[in-house]
Structure 1
C-alpha cells in the first residue's frame, strides 16, 4: 500500500502544484477586480492633489510722467586754460592746487622788476613830452600875437602851430606807452578770470613762461554744472512735439551718478543742438544742474532721465510675475474660477521696482506674482492669496500663511 501510495503522490504532485498556482492567481485577479470596482464607485477628483497656493496682486494703475533714459557726462559751464600775458620768470605760485579760487585772485607772480623799470621809463617819457608840448603851445600863442602885429610871417606862424600839434600827439603817444607799461606790470600778477576750482600748477618757480607757449594751470567753474548727453531722433521728435503742444521749452531732467540709486538730482534741459548727426542718428542735448553741494565733478559718468511734459496713466506689475516664451513676455491672470490664464503683454520701462505694461492688461485684473513656477499649464486651478503689488516674497509668504 505504501509503495503504491508513494508512487501516486509522485505522479499527481505536479498536477496539485499547478492547481494551487491557478487558485492563487484567481484570488489575486478577483481582488484587483474588486478594487477597480470600488474605484469606479468613488467620487470624481478624490485622491487628486489640491490646487497649489499662489500669491496674486491687483495690477496697479498710477499717474507717471513718460521718460527716456540716456547716458552722459558732467561738464563744467566754464573752463579756462590759464596763460600768462607777458613773458618772464615765475617768481611765486600764490594758490593751493586743487582748491577753489575767487575771480580775480592772484595765482602766479612773474618777476616784476623789468616791468617796473619799463613803467618808470614810460612815465618819464610822458613827463618830457608834456613839457615839450607846453613849450610849443606857448610859442604858438606868442606867434599868434606877433602875426597879428605883422612882426612874423604867416609861414613861421604855421610852423609854430604844427610844432604845437606834434607835441600834443607826442604826449598822447607817451601816455599810451605809459598805459601799456602799467598793464604789463599788472599782468605779471596772473589772476583767475573766473571763480572755480584750480588744477595743479604746470610750472614751478624759476621757469621762463610766455604768452604763446606756456599753460600755467586750468580752472573749471563748479556751480552750476552741465550734463551733456546724446538722444535718438525718435525721442527728440516726440519731446519737441510735446513741448510745442504744451508751450514749454525747458523739460525737467533727473540725473543719477555711478553708485547712486535711482535719479536723486534734478535739473532742466537748457540746450538742444541744431542738427541730428546723420552718421549716428543722435542729437546732442544739455541740461543744467545745481552744484551747491559740490557732488558733481567735470568728467563724471551720469545716468540721465528726460521727463515728458505731462503725466499719463500707466499700469505697473511686479517683474517677478513676468515670464518669457522665446521673444514674448507673458503673465498668468487669475480667472473667475481661480484658474491661471496666460496673457501676453508688452513691457515698458522700470519704475520704483515695478515694470510699466504698455499693452495686454486691464486695470483691476489680478496676476500671479509668487508661485508662478507651480503653474504647469494655462487653465490650471490655483488657490490664490492676495498680496500687495511689489511685496517681497517673505511678506507674500507671511500673508499666505495667515
Structure 2
C-alpha cells in the first residue's frame, strides 16, 4: 500500500515538473536573428571645423590728411581701382588763396636777399642782416611748400590696387584727419586671408598629427584646408595655413590662425564669413556606423553581443567622421567586438539574439590617403 502511494506521488511530481518546464519554455524569449559587425581597423579622414572671417591681403582705410569739404567723388562702392588713382577731391579754394599769399611772401623775401647781397660784398652792411634775410626766405619757402602739400593732399589717391568698400560720405561733407570714420576702405582681394581661432587642445591635436620636426616645418607640411562659404557651398580653391599666433590669448586661451586662399575670380570679399575645415588623416582606427549607437543620460553607447549572444551596452568615446555616417571610436570598443547593426534602441540589455555576422568591409568603406 505504501509502495503504491509513493508511486502515485512520484508520477504526480514528474507530471508537475514537466508542466513547469513546458510553461517555462513558453515564457522564455525566442532568440531572433539580428545583423552584427565584427570590428576591425581601417583609415579615414576627419575634418575639424572653425568659424572664420575673411579679409583681403591688404585692407587700407582711406582718410583725409587735411580738412575740407568733399568736392568730387570719382569712384563707386565695389569698383576696382589702381594704385595712385584719385578717389576723392576736397575743396581747395582757401588753400589756393593761402598758396598765392605764401608765394608772394617768398618773392618778397627773395627780393630782400637779392638787395642785401651786394651791400654785404661792399661791406656797407653786416653779414648778419643778410643771414637774417636768408633765414626769412627759407621760412617763407617752407610755408609755401606746406601749403602746396596741403593742396596735393586734397586729391586723395588709392595706395594699392583693390576694391572700394562702403562710402559713407557724400558731396559737400566736411572731413578732416580727425574724422573717426574713414572715407572708404580699399581692399586688395587678389588673395584672401581667413582668420580663425583654436583652443589649446585643438592646437595640440593639429600639431601632433602634422608631419615635420619643427613647429614651422609642421605648418609648411600641413594639408590644404577647405573653405565652406556662408551659403553652405565649398569654395573651389583650397587654402593653406600660414601662421599660428606665438602664444595663447591670456583671456580666451585660444590661438589665432591665418589661412590664405587664391581669389583670382574675385568671388570672396573682405567681411565675408565661412567655416574652415582642417583635414586629419587617421590610419588603423576603429569605425562604427553612427546608427549603431544610442545616447543615454549624456553618454553615447554602442550595443555589442557578449559571449552568451546577449545584448550588452558599452559606453564609448568617439569623433564624428564627415558625412554623418561613421564614428571613429577612441575608447570603449576593441577589434573583434561584435556591434549590433539592427535593433539598436529597441533591444534592452540582456536580450539574447542570433547574431548574423556581416563583414566589416561590407559596412565600412576605408579611406585611401592620396
* Same fold (TM > 0.5): yes
- Mean alpha-carbon deviation: is it higher for 349-358 or for 134-143? 134-143
* Change in CA separation of 1:105 and 1:378 when aligned onto 2, cut-off 3 Å: farther
* Change in CA separation of 1:111 and 1:320 when aligned onto 2, cut-off 3 Å: same
Q: Give the aligned partner of residue 4 of structure 1.
A: none
Correspondence 1:285 to 2:261: no
Distance in 2, matches of 1:244 and 1:165, equals 72
* Change in CA separation of 1:370 and 1:53 when aligned onto 2, cut-off 3 Å: closer
Q: Give the aligned partner of residue 132 of structure 1.
A: 112
Q: Give the aligned partner of residue 170 of structure 1.
A: 136
1:236 is displaced (CA, Å) by 4.3
Q: Tell whether the 8 Å contact from 2:87 to 2:158 is kept in structure 1 after alignment.
A: yes
* Change in CA separation of 1:106 and 1:181 when aligned onto 2, cut-off 3 Å: same
Q: Give the aligned partner of residue 302 of structure 1.
A: 274
Q: Give the aligned partner of residue 239 of structure 2.
A: 266
Partner SS, residue 139 of structure 1:
helix
Correspondence 1:388 to 2:362: yes
Deviations 1:234-268 (A, max 9, x none): 33466577889830233665443333267975331
Matches within 5 A, 1:2-401: 51-52=32-33, 54=35, 56=37, 59-62=40-43, 64=45, 68-76=48-56, 78-143=58-123, 156=125, 159=126, 161-213=127-179, 215=181, 217-221=183-187, 222-236=189-203, 246-249=213-216, 250=219, 254-260=226-232, 265-272=238-245, 274-278=247-251, 280=252, 282-292=253-263, 293-305=265-277, 313-333=284-304, 343-353=314-324, 354-363=326-335, 367-372=339-344, 377=350, 379-386=352-359, 388-389=362-363
Partner SS, residue 290 of structure 1:
strand
Aligned length: 333
1:100 is displaced (CA, Å) by 3.2
1:349 is displaced (CA, Å) by 3.3
Q: Give the aligned partner of residue 12 of structure 2.
A: none
1:352 is displaced (CA, Å) by 4.2
Structure 1 residues without counterparts, runs of 5 or longer: 1-32, 144-151, 392-402
Distance in 2, matches of 1:358 and 1:272, equals 29
Partner SS, residue 96 of structure 2:
helix
* Change in CA separation of 1:268 and 1:89 when aligned onto 2, cut-off 3 Å: same
Structural RMSD (CA): 4.2
- Mean alpha-carbon deviation: is it higher for 367-376 or for 314-323? 367-376
Q: Tell whether the 8 Å contact from 1:56 to 1:384 is kept in structure 2 after alignment.
A: yes
TM-score, normalization by structure 2:
0.70
- Mean alpha-carbon deviation: is it higher for 102-111 or for 164-173? 164-173
Deviations 1:103-155 (A, max 9, x none): 32211112233333433443343344334334433333333xxxxxxxx7xxx
Distance in 1, matches of 2:317 and 2:181, equals 56
Distance in 2, matches of 1:374 and 1:203, equals 66
* Change in CA separation of 1:363 and 1:352 when aligned onto 2, cut-off 3 Å: farther
TM-score, normalization by structure 1:
0.66
Pick the structure with greater CA Rg. Answer: 1
* Change in CA separation of 1:201 and 1:372 when aligned onto 2, cut-off 3 Å: closer
1:346 is displaced (CA, Å) by 1.7
Q: Tell whether the 8 Å contact from 2:226 to 2:276 is kept in structure 1 after alignment.
A: yes
Distance in 1, matches of 2:79 and 2:40, equals 53
Distance in 2, matches of 1:294 and 1:263, equals 12
* Change in CA separation of 1:365 and 1:260 when aligned onto 2, cut-off 3 Å: farther
Partner SS, residue 171 of structure 1:
helix
Distance in 2, matches of 1:325 and 1:207, equals 64
- Higher helix residue share: 1
